[in-house]
């Protein structure tokens, strides 16, 4: 009996020891396998994040180092607003204004390059309220589609949408000073892009029945003169002041001259012409260079 009991104990001990070694062997395999799985999962996540970042990266111009200028004006119902947004003395993005009626586009970071160089980026920089139905004027007045009632161009129309007063905010974009026709946008206005040097913009609040072609082309004389001045001589505002080079004559009665007649070689579409902008004699370089309020960059 004693021998039989001892034999059973030996067999049991042998059985237990063998099972322990088998468990340790499985554990030694599972741990590196789990680590390998974690590494592979991390690599996959990095690749996915990189692809998403590439998809969202700025595409196309303007790029860091570019320096463009666009003209802007505001049109309310049936007339231009002569006021200009003041000089942006705290420019953080590089898409701003010097109080001169121009949008200066020279991005400081990739957050405002490529598809992110937009009208919305400009409005954010100068801290102006702007969306698909609202525009804040330079004097702080808020133009809103629901509050402004532009007179109908056809009040006798049988269509109440045409005959009744109303308002719709649009962004009009001329691709160059040579372009005669503009592209009109009435939604996603903050996403309207800056695509090149010398574009012109009109922020227009008009009656919904007004055709885009009936929104006047802005006076481009100042922009034409500005673009022909060498970059190092282009006037900018004193950043300690709120005023900058003026687009409108300060001695007039506040009204804006009629838009300049389109040049003879103006293209039939809103696309920029291939030729260099020709000076029409408007805007004398010496008159801007001699203004004591101006500095040169």
Range among 36-40, 143-147, 259-263 with highest mean pLDDT value: 143-147
Average confidence (pLDDT) over 188-217: 97
Range among 34-43, 44-53, 282-291 with highest mean pLDDT value: 34-43
| pLDDT value for 272 | 40
| Structure letter (DSSP) for residue 296 | E
Q: What is the mean pLDDT of the chain?
A: 78
Q: How far is CA 51 from CA 48, 57, 103, 110, 206, in A?
A: 5, 10, 33, 17, 43
Query: Residue 167 is encoded by which pair of tokens?
Result: 């308002």
Average confidence (pLDDT) over 151-165: 93
Residue 210: partners with Cβ closer than 8 Å, 6 or more residues away: 150, 153, 168
Better-scored residue on pLDDT, 125 or 36: 125
Helix (H) or strand (E) holding 268: none
| pLDDT value for 231 | 66
| pLDDT value for 71 | 97
- What band does 290 get if pLDDT is binned at 50, 70 and 90? very low
| pLDDT value for 184 | 97
Average confidence (pLDDT) over 260-272: 43
Residue 110: partners with Cβ closer than 8 Å, 6 or more residues away: 57, 58, 64, 116
Nearest partner of 104 among 61, 69, 72, judged by Cα: 69
Instruction: Answer whether residue 80 shows pLDDT above 80.
Output: yes
Nearest partner of 90 among 82, 79, 98, judged by Cα: 98
Better-scored residue on pLDDT, 13 or 60: 60
- What band does 85 get if pLDDT is binned at 50, 70 and 90? very high
What size, in residues, is the chain?
A: 297
| pLDDT value for 27 | 61
| pLDDT value for 34 | 77
Q: From CA 174, how far away is CA 196, in angstroms rounded?
A: 11
Phi, psi of 201 (to 5 degrees): -130, 140
| pLDDT value for 21 | 55
| pLDDT value for 38 | 86
| pLDDT value for 250 | 37
Average confidence (pLDDT) over 271-280: 41
| pLDDT value for 257 | 47
Average confidence (pLDDT) over 65-69: 95
- What band does 11 get if pLDDT is binned at 50, 70 and 90? low
Measured on CA atoms in the order 176, 179, 180, 184, is the torsion positive or negative? negative
């Amino acid at each position: 009996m004693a021998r039989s009991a001892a034999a059973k104990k030996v067999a049991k001990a042998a059985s237990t020891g063998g099972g322990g070694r088998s468990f340790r062997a499985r554990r030694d395999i599972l741990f590196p396998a789990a680590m390998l799985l974690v590494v592979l999962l991390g690599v996959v996540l990095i690749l996915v994040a990189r692809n998403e970042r590439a998809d969202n990266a700025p595409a196309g111009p303007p790029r860091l180092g570019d320096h463009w200028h666009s003209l802007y004006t505001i049109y309310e119902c049936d007339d231009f607003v002569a006021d200009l947004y003041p000089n942006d003395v705290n420019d953080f993005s590089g898409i701003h204004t010097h109080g001169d009626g121009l949008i200066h586009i020279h991005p400081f970071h990739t957050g405002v390059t490529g598809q992110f160089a937009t009208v919305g980026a400009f409005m954010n920089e100068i801290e102006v309220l702007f969306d698909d139905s609202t525009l804040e004027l330079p004097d702080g007045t808020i133009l809103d589609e629901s509050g402004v009632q532009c007179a109908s161009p056809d009040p006798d129309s049988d269509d109440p949408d045409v005959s009744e007063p109303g308002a719709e905010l649009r962004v009009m974009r001329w691709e160059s000073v040579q372009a005669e026709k503009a592209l009109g946008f009435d939604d996603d206005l903050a996403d309207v892009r800056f695509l090149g040097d010398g574009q012109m913009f009109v922020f227009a609040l008009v009656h919904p029945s007004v055709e885009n072609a009936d929104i006047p082309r802005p006076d481009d004389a100042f922009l034409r003169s500005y673009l022909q001045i060498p970059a190092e001589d282009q006037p900018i505002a004193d950043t300690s002041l709120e005023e900058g080079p003026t687009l409108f004559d300060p001695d007039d009665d506040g009204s804006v001259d009629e838009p300049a007649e389109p040049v003879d070689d103006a293209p039939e579409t809103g696309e920029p012409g291939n030729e260099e902008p020709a000076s029409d004699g408007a805007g004398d370089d010496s008159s801007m260079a001699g203004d004591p309020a101006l500095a040169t960059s």
